[in-house]
Each structure stands twice: as structure tokens, then as C-alpha cells.
Structure 1
Amino acid sequence: MLDALHHALRAAPDRPAVLGTTRTGAVRVRATRGDLADLTDRYAAALHRRGITRGSTVGVAVRPGPRALAVMLAVHRLGARAAVLDPGAGPDVLRARLALARPEAVLADAAAQAVAGWGRRLAHHARLALPDLDELGPVATVGPRLPGCAPALDGDAAPAALPRPVDEDGDAVIVFTSGTTSRPRAVVHTRSSLAAGMTAVSALARPEAGRPVLGGTFFVLVPSLAAGAPVALPARPPRLLVRQLAGLDPQLTYLTPPQLRGLLARRARFTGRVWTGSAPVSADLLTRVKQAGAHEAWGVYALTELFPAAAVEQADKAAFTGQGDLVGAPLPEVAARTDATGQLLLSGPAARDRYLGEQPDPWIATGDRAHLDGGRIVLEGRCKDMVLRRAENIYPGLYEPTLHIPGVESALLVGVEAGDGDERLVAVVQPTPGTDPAALRAALAGPLRRMGSARPDAVLLADIPLSGRSRKPDRAAAARLAAARLGAAPPTAGGRG
């Protein structure tokens, strides 16, 4: 699909490719399809002049937008692999990741370099941090240079030495997911697994030419552009995202659950089909999105190791009455089974090839407990989130959907150390804005009784902490919050919950 995209961009160079939105909600064209193709060629030529060829590794620390997309397409054209670097990971973690990936070059925009040098004080307030520039290796600036930046990538040079596109399989991208500073872990996708994943997204979402698509991930951008649809990256401030949604009238929208909740709190209206994932998706959230105008509202179950794996529409999720969190049937060519411990294992053409530095393995250990219900995947919670209370193993994901009643924005079950080797089970419930706390506690009484032996020891009404770019619920932070509010001993770094 990436190869087909390059030809598709050239076939209609004057049509819009990447859209922006002004503060008033007006739509503007940030880049045409021809602009994106030209930028890709220039970056490919500049990287080739720097010695980047098939098998090379290029570190990428560029904010989402036309330049970031062009960089990824250029790296792919050369048969190199892109190591995605996150400035929010912290300098110690990034040093370890760079040591593992060993990129021949690092591409960074001015904002990322500000984090590493002249803008460090401002970056600290934004919770971003990079090592010093001289620790990153050979750095080139993508986009406008500012004082203190590394030399430009020379993306404006004519692509006279543009090589023929690489047309064979090999490593395509490295995405760091977990691990520690001493042992980082990184997912390696090949060109074929990326192609399979984007083909699956295209078949699932069915983007149509001409109408805008709102979404910021690579797996959303490429299939949409290949189908002839212009794309818009979501605005970060919720108030601007509301205006963006109204101005674009998108056929497809892909946002995280926290983004959707922010829009719903501001009474935003949706159009077309809405997709959400990267964090737990409740039936209530999907229902509210459809009530706000969406024709369909889908929850997507996906991992960095396999995107996408399963999907479920609001009507099916709302009709599910079993225990656990229904995330849908595995998508075509995705195989699912559980191991002896109940952990969900997945495999398929879109699965990652391996973890960097490890041997290939066709099966992905998801870290999620699950069972199959008529072929559909029902999650029971994260294996590592297990809470041990009075010698009973409690898996929060098995019971958390019970707490998602009207008036509940989000809910987590976390373990808080009781000081005697046991744990207290605490429900941290975030009310929907405007909900009366006393009325919500009364409404929760029935669902809490139905939880049986997993009924929590305490219910805390509070905003649930979020973490990461995708703003996922942070269980560890929620457990610390619960411990502080309830006057319990805080959980240790290695404790459950």
C-alpha cells in the first residue's frame, strides 16, 4: 500500500492531502498530494546522499504532520527502517533505546531539538526530555531550522540522485513499547506486516475518495490517502477539536476514548463512522457517540504488535450480557487462542516479526486474560493487573465493565496494599461532568452487589490519571491516588494493581 500510495499521490497532485483547521474552525489545506509526493522524493534523495540505504536505521523524532509522513515514506522507499523516538520518554530511557536501535542518522524537527538543547527549560514544563544533541548521534533537522538546531536535512535539494524504490521484504519500523532503561523492548514490523495491517484497516474502515478523514496514526493516514481521501490530524485542545470536527464533517473519525469524552463534554456532534481504541472502550461511551450523531461507533482492539486485531460496533457491545469486556471477533486472517494461564495469544500476517534483539515468534503474548465467546474475544483484564485479596485472584478487567453505567466517565479497579501482604480492592470511578455524586453512589449499589466476591472494599470518586501519548488510564497512578485518599500505605513499585 505504501508503494501504491506514491503513485496515487502523483496521479492527482492538485488535490488536498493533509488538512488543517484554523482557530475559528475553517478548513485549510496544509499540503496537496503533489506537495507530499515532492517532499517524500526530496527527503529520500537527501537521506540517500547521507548513505542511508536498504537495511539502514533512521531515528525519527518529528511531530505528526506532512513532514513526518514524508519522512516515513522516504525511509520506506529506500528500504531502511525507522526507529520512532518519543521525546516524552525521558533522556535515560532514550539513551537506552538509541543504544539498542543504533541509528545511522536521527531526524528531528526544531521542537524535538529544543527539548535537547536551547529550549530545555520550556520543554521541562511540557514534560519532554531528550539527551544532549551530541548524544543523539548524527542529527539532521527536518523542517524550519531555529538557532541551535542541527544542520538541515537538505530537503530542498533536487532529487537528481533518487534511487529506485526497494521492492522486497525487510524491517520497516521499530516502535519502543516497554522495558526499562537497562533493558528496553522494541517491536519490529516488516514491510509485509505493515502492508497487511494497513490492508486490514482499509477493509475495516472503507475510506472513500474525496471526503475528509480525521485521525492521526500512521495506520489511519496511509489507507485514507491511498483511497483518495484527505486527512486531518486531530487538534490537541478539546475546544479546537470541537470546531475541527464541525468544520470537516469527516466520513471517518479515529480518536482515543479520552478525546471522545472531551468532545462529548462539550456537546460536539459526530458524523459518519467513529472508531476508538488505545484504551478501554465502554459500551456507554460508544452509545453516547452514536447519540451525538455518529452513524456507527466502533471499538478497536489493537496492539503495537498487531494493528488491528478485532473490532466491535456499539450495538453488539451494548447487547453483550456476559462477564468481561467484549472487543469483537478477530479480523480476517487473525488467529486467537488462550494459553494455559488464560492469556490471549494472537497471530496473523499483520503481526510484528519480533522484538528487537530477539528471535521471531509467530504468536503474540498480549498480556491480557481473555476467553472466546462464540469466536469473539472477551477480555478479563491484564495479567499483571491481578489483585490478590484474601488468597483470591481478582482480574479487574473482568468486572470493570459492570461499573460503566450512565453517569460514569471511566472506572478502574486497583489494588492497594493493606500492610499485611494482602491487598484492598478499590474502585476508582470518574463521574461524567455534572453528575450528582450521591445519586451516582446510589446507582452503583446494584452493580457493586452483582460483583459478588470481587466487590471492592472502597469506592473513590475521582478523576482517573492518564499517561502516554494515547492518554491511557494509568493504573499505577490510580493506585497511588487511592492509597493517598484512603490513608493506606502506597503500593510498592513491584506490587500488583
Structure 2
Amino acid sequence: MLDRLAHDLRTRHPDRPAVLAHTRLGGTRVRIRRGELAALADTCAVALNARGLGQDTTLGLALRPGPRALAVMLAAHRLGLRIAVLDPTAGPDVLAARLALARPDLVLADAAAQAVAGWARPLARRADLALPPLELLGPVATLGRRLPGCAPRLRVGRFGASVPSIPGSDAPARDTDAVIVFTSGTTASPRAVVHSRGGLATGLRTVGELVDPRPGSVVLGGTFFVLVPALSAGAAVALPAREPAALARQLSRLTPAHTYLTPPQLRAALGAGARFTGQVWTGSAPADATLLRRVKQAGADRAWGVYALTELFPAAAVEEAEKSAFTGPGDLVGAPLPGVRTALAPDGELLLGGPGARHRYLGEEPDPWVRTGDLATLDPDGRIVLGGRLKDMVLRRAENIYPGLYEPSLHLPGVELAVLVGVPDGDGDERLVALVQPSPGTDPRQLRAALAGPLARMGSARPDAVLFGRVPLAGRSRKPDRAAASARCARELAG
């Protein structure tokens, strides 16, 4: 798909918009056109090749999602080098540890992410961006606007500039590493997922076949797995506005055929009165049937929950009607997508495999099975039903309680988000606490009364306490931060 995209951007309607951006006044502007994106990818390839990068070298990428990041990915694919994705929001210490593991030959970074001195430092802090001091990064180049104190710019030339031949620019025949994405681990021992070129191609193809964007349509979303399939199909991609009210206006103006937002983004947009069109896709965090149903009630034709991991994207998908019809225990995430293999470990952990799975973890030997960390069962139709995270298990009175098995029943109308967490109770035991975040305008007394039924049906897993308040979120995907939620519940119970 990457090979085809690089060609199609030049030959199929090069004057059409490729990426759209939301303006401060509520309008839409063309961020970059298809031909311009192809030219930017060409000049990035020339510039990177001039810096000595080619097959089997590593490029660190500390850029926010957008046209520049996509152009660099296309250039990297053309040159046969691998990309190490360096999240600028992870913090300097974490990034320094990841850099030591990946050892990139060159780091491309946003000016704001590099802001290590002068007036640019407050800008970076407001954007939650930071990198270690430049001397710890190794060779660094700035892509885009350069601010005081930043590394020299990568000279990528102008749109439409002639591109000389690049030695070794043909895509490698062998299935080499394509991308390194950091996931779990600590500062002392970071862990990184390595996807091969073939595995990345399989994942992109699966997304394209699942979503099936149409030429000339508009797709709203900002991730690599949204950009590439949409552009390859001839659709334009709109980067989502950050503020909920602006996002609601953007959805109204664009009426996208496909929208991809995380569950927190969906909740915020719904809270701002957003109306949806076409098909809506959500993932990166749990999405219950109630949330998907609210999206359809707000105008979407269909609302999908996508089960995906850093190691395998995507793995399964389920539409709201199918999810709402499921009455068994646990969280139905759908049937495995084509090519995805499933198995259950002796302890009930879900294992996934297939041609789209990661090749290995950096520094480790390849393993055909991805350990998801999720407890699961497979129903008679082979659909995946999650029962909670292994590490989220709560031990209460010698009983193992898996929150994911019971949390779906707490998501009633009027509940924005709910989690079950363990709070230390002495002697190694824990109290089970439900932290419920009401939707705006919900009467807490009525909601507590409505929760009485689901709580009674939880049997021995009924929580010791039910607290109302905001559920802490963490990470770029804004998943529930269970450790922070547990600490918050402990403070409230102590008080």
C-alpha cells in the first residue's frame, strides 16, 4: 500500500486535497495537496540519503502526526530504513532510555519538542512536549520551522523540486524492519515493538478492507493507520480539532464518511453536542455498547469498536448492534479479522498471531504469539470476549476478581465512564471500589438508584464502595489510569 500510495499521490488527482486542517474560526483549510505530499516525501528521501541514511539504518521520529510525519514515513519506506517512533510527550527520562535502546542514526524532531532554551521552552511545556538535552540525543535535525536553540533544519527543498536519483532507493526485497514503537516497560528497561515491512503492509491492508474508504470522500482521523489507507483509496483526511466544541463544528461542516476518534474524544464531542455522519470507528481504549449507541443516536449510520494492540493493529471489530445484543459476561470485541489467529493460554490469557503481528520485541527473539495481557474466552462463533486485564486483577478475601468482567454492566445511561479498582486494605487484601464518572447533568441520586440492580447482580464481586467522580486518564490514548484511580479512591475512603 505504501508503494502504491507514493505512486498514486503523483498520478491520481495530484491537485486534490490530501490533508485538511481545522481553522480557529471554525472553517477548513487545505493543509497539503496530494502532489505536494508526494514532492515532500521525495525531497525528504533525498535529504535523508544525503545524511547517509539507507537500508538497515534507524531514524528517530519525534514529530506530531500530520503531513510531515507521513512524508518521512514514505521516504523511509523508499530508502529501506526503519523508523523509531519517539513520543515527545513521554518525558525526557523515558525518551533518553528509549533512545539508548533504539540507537537511531539521526533524530528528526519538531522545534517545539526540542525547545531546550530561550523563549521556546514555555511553548513546549504548554504543548506537553519535551526531549532530553540535544547532546544526549545524538545527531538531530529539525523538520519544519526552526526555533532558537534547535538543531539545524533538514534541508528538504521546495514542493515540486526536481529529485535526483537515489542510490538503493528501490524497496528492499527482503522483509526488513519498518518501524519501532515503544510500549510497556520502565525507564530502566523500556520495551519496544518491532514491525516488519510485511507486517506493516498487512495491517494497513486490513484497515483498508475493513473501513473501505471511497475516492473523493472525507475521513476524519489523525493516525498513520487512518492516513495511509484513506489517501491510498483517494479520500482526503481531516485532522481532528483538539477542542470538543471545535471538533463538533468540524464534524458538522465536513460530514465525513468515516470518523476515527478515541473513546475520550467521542465522549467529549458528544458532550459538546456533536452530530455524526457515516461510520464511526473507535479504539485505543475500551468502548462499551452505551458509548457506541450514543454515537448512533447522534447521527452515525454505524458505530464500531476496534480491538487493537501496538503489537497487532487491528485484531477484531464489532458494531454497536452486535455488541448491544451480547448478554453474556465480559466485553465482546468481535470476531478476529481475516488472518488473525487466536489461542488461550492455560491461565486464560488471550494470545494473538498472524501475518500482521509484530515481528519481535527489540533485543528479543521472534515469537509467533502476542501475549495480550487480556483474559478472554472464545464463544462458539469464535468471537473474542474479554474478561479483564491480568495485571488489573483484584485479590479480595482470597478471591481473584477481574474488573473487565463486570465493568460493562456499570455503563448505564448517565454513566460517562466507570472502573473497578483495588484499594489496599492491610495484610495483602484489597477492597474493591467502583469509581463512576457521571455524564454531565446526571442526578447522582437517580444514578445511584439505577446502579443498584447491576451491583446486586455482581454477586461475590460486588464492590465494597461506590464513589462518584472523574476517572483519571493517562497516555496519548487516554486510557483509564487504574493506579491513579486506586489512589484517588484510597484518599476518599480514608477521608
**Normalised TM-score (structure 2):** 0.97
Q: How does 1:279-358 map to 2 (within 5 A)?
A: 279-358=285-364
Matched, 1:213 2:213: no
Match of 2:171 in 1: 166
Bigger Cα displacement from structure 2, 310-319 vs 157-166? 157-166
Partner-residue secondary structure (3-state), 1:156? coil
Pairwise CA distance, 1:165: 2.5
Match of residue 189, structure 2, among 180, 183, 190: 183
**CA 1:363/1:240 → structure 2, altered by over 3 Å: closer, same or farther?**
same
Please say if 1:362 is aligned against 2:368: yes
Q: How far apart are 1:88 and its partner, in Å?
A: 1.4
Q: Does 1:8 align with 2:36?
A: no
Please name the residue that 2:41 is paired with. 40
Identity %: 69
Structure-to-structure mapping, 1:467-486, within 5 angstroms:
467-486=474-493
Match of 1:93 in 2: 94
| Structure 1 residue 118: Cα displacement | 5.6
Post-superposition Cα deviations, 1:344-383, rounded to whole Å, max 9, x if no partner, equal: 0000111000000000011000000000012000000000
CA positional deviation for 1:159: 2.6
| Alpha-carbon distance between aligned partners in 2 of 1:147 and 1:213, rounded to the nearest angstrom | 36
Matches within 5 A, 1:83-482: 83-114=84-115, 119-156=120-157, 158-163=162-167, 164-168=169-173, 169-374=175-380, 375-482=382-489
Shift of 1:129: 2.7
Aligned to 1:494: none
Q: Deviations over 1:98-135 (max 9, x none)?
A: 01100000001211111577633443454433210111
Provide the C-alpha distance between the structure 1 equivalents of 2:274 and 2:93, rounded to a whole number of angstroms. Answer: 40
Moved more, 133-142 or 479-488: 479-488
Asked whether the equivalents of residues 116 and 130 of structure 1 are also in contact (C-alpha less than 8 Å), the reply is: no
Gaps of 5+ in 1: 489-497
CA–CA separation in structure 1 for the residues paired with 2:400 and 2:474: 26
Task: Tell me the distance in 1 between the aligned counterparts of 2:261 and 2:130.
Answer: 26
Instruction: State the shift of 1:162 in Å.
Output: 2.9
Instruction: Indicate conservation of the 8 Å contact 1:415/1:425, yes or no.
Output: yes
Ranges in structure 2 where 5+ consecutive residues have no aligned partner: none
**What secondary structure does 2:400 align onto?**
strand
Shift of the 116–295 alpha-carbon distance from structure 1 to 2, 3 Å rule, reads farther
Following TM superposition, where does structure 1 have runs of at least 4 consecutive aligned residues deviating by more than 4 angstroms?
A: 115-118
1:212-248 per-residue CA deviation (whole Å, 9 max, x = no partner) reads 1001110111000000000011111111111111111
Matches within 5 A, 1:70-85: 70-85=71-86
Aligned to 1:492: none
SS of corresponding position for 2:38:
helix
Q: State the alpha-carbon separation in 1 of the partners of residues 218 and 26 from structure 2.
A: 14
Instruction: State the 1:182 CA deviation.
Output: 1.1
Superimposed CA distance per residue, residues 191-217 of structure 1 (whole angstroms, 9 cap, x where no aligned partner): 000000010001100100001100111
Any conservation in 2 of the 1:58–1:104 contact (CA below 8 Å)?
Answer: yes
Query: Could you say what secondary structure the match of 2:115 adopts?
Result: helix
- 1:493 maps to none
- Maintained 8 Å contact 2:15/2:33: yes
SS at match of 2:59: strand
- Name the SS of the counterpart of 1:14 in structure 2: coil
Q: Secondary structure at the match of 1:67?
A: helix
Give yes or no for contact 1:116–1:132 (8 Å, CA) kept in 2: no
The letter for the 1-side match of 2:439 is T
2:118 and 2:148 in contact (8 A); partners too = no
Distance 1:166 1:80 in 2: 10
Q: How many residues align?
A: 488
Which residue identity lines up with residue 330 of structure 2 in the other structure? G
Report the Cα distance in structure 1 between the residues aligned to 2:116 and 2:186, rounded to whole angstroms.
21
Q: In structure 1, what residue type is equivalent to 2:75?
A: A
Q: Which moved more, 1:356-365 or 1:237-246?
A: 237-246
CA contact (8 A) 2:116 2:149 kept: no
Query: Is the 1:367–1:384 Cα contact (8 Å) retained in structure 2?
Result: yes
Query: How far 1:136 sits from its partner (Å)?
Result: 0.7
Q: 1:392 to 1:117 in 2, by over 3 A?
A: farther
Q: 1:148 to 1:181 in 2, by over 3 A?
A: same
Counterpart of 2:19 in structure 1 is 18
How big is the shift at 1:145?
1.3
Q: How far apart are residue 465 of structure 1 and its match?
A: 0.6
User: Is the Cα contact below 8 Å between 1:59 and 1:82 reproduced in 2?
Assistant: yes
* Cα distance in 2 for residues equivalent to 1:155 and 1:473: 40
Instruction: Report the Cα distance in structure 2 between the residues aligned to 1:440 and 1:420, rounded to whole angstroms.
Output: 34
* Amino acid in the other structure paired with 1:230: A
- Paired with 2:490 and 2:403, the residues of 1 have a C-alpha distance of 17
Post-superposition Cα deviations, 1:21-69, rounded to whole Å, max 9, x if no partner, equal: 2223322111000000000000000000000001110000111111111
Shift of 1:266: 1.3
What letter matches 1:3 in structure 2?
D
